Amino acid sequence: MAGSHAEDLTDLPPPYRVPEGSELELKAPNRHQKRLRMLAQMPRGGRCAEIGVWNGAFSDYILEVTRPRELILIDPWDLLSDRPDGEQTHKKHSDDAFMGSMRDHVAAKFAERPEVKLHQGFSAEVLEGLPDDHLDWIYIDGNHLYDFVKQDLAVAARKVRQGGVIAGDDLFWKRDGRMHVREAVMEFLEEAGLERKVDHIGQQFMIPVVAEIKKTYAAG
């Protein structure tokens, strides 16, 4: 049964300390505190994935706070430069050299961390490659446009075990007068027959993976 990953706290990696005064802490201390509070509620010692890694700064905190047995990091990095403009939601996404250097930076930073698995690619495709119910929780922080979040949520519903958590960032992110992430989250809940209400700490949302979600989004 996949349901017991998080309870089994044996065989954890050694303690890992986040460098003091990290960029995330310095740039936006309030937001950082909220993200840490969200992390404190995630399963410990489990299998998790971060969709959208950028320079891996938040991955450090996932490791430090939740001590996962496996952390799957997914980001296309420089593969984004070949995608249509609409998919490039940040000006740096079209800068091949910059995105490639971030991929290299993340690879070097976690080279000695066997529990960290790096996947350069697009979230839905990479997640599809995992067995169903493999993950205890996931953090969705990739492309924030509605269609992408909708797809990330639907695939995550199959890949996270019942009793696990689908969490994510930027619930109130706005583009062209729409809150894409919020819209996608509300529809995801509604389609599963659940109330249009989500637990959140600031922009950090947390959806418990209940039976209705597993049933609604089951493959086929």
Ligand X SMILES: C[S@@+](CC[C@H](N)C(=O)[O-])C[C@H]1O[C@@H](n2cnc3c(N)ncnc32)[C@H](O)[C@@H]1O
Minimum distance of ligand X from residue 159's CB (angstroms): 14
Query: Does the protein bind ligand X through residue 107 (CB under 6 A)?
Result: no
Burial of 117 (0-12, 13-18, 19+ CB in 10 A): middle
Query: Does the protein bind ligand X through residue 66 (CB under 6 A)?
Result: no
* Both structure tokens of 154: 């639907």
Query: Does the protein bind ligand X through residue 110 (CB under 6 A)?
Result: no
38, 53, 160, 207: which one binds ligand X (CB under 6 A): 53
* CB closer to ligand X, 163 vs 184: 184
Tell me the H-state helices in the chain: 23-27, 29-40, 57-66, 96-109, 123-128, 146-159, 180-191, 211-216
Query: Does the protein bind ligand X through residue 204 (CB under 6 A)?
Result: no
Query: Does the protein bind ligand X through residue 188 (CB under 6 A)?
Result: no
Burial of 197 (0-12, 13-18, 19+ CB in 10 A): exposed
Looking at residue 198, its amino acid is V
Show the site string, 119-138: x = touches ligand X by CB under 6 A, - = not: ---xx---------------
5, 54, 155, 205: which one binds ligand X (CB under 6 A): 54
* CB closer to ligand X, 93 vs 163: 93
Query: Does the protein bind ligand X through residue 143 (CB under 6 A)?
Result: yes
150 contact partners, CB below 8 Å, separation of at least 6: 184, 187, 188
Query: Does the protein bind ligand X through residue 106 (CB under 6 A)?
Result: no
Query: Does the protein bind ligand X through residue 74 (CB under 6 A)?
Result: yes
* Both structure tokens of 72: 């799957």
For the beta carbon of residue 28, count every other beta carbon within 10 angstroms.
Answer: 12
Binding site for ligand X (CB under 6 A): 50-54, 57-58, 74-77, 80, 122-123, 141-143, 148
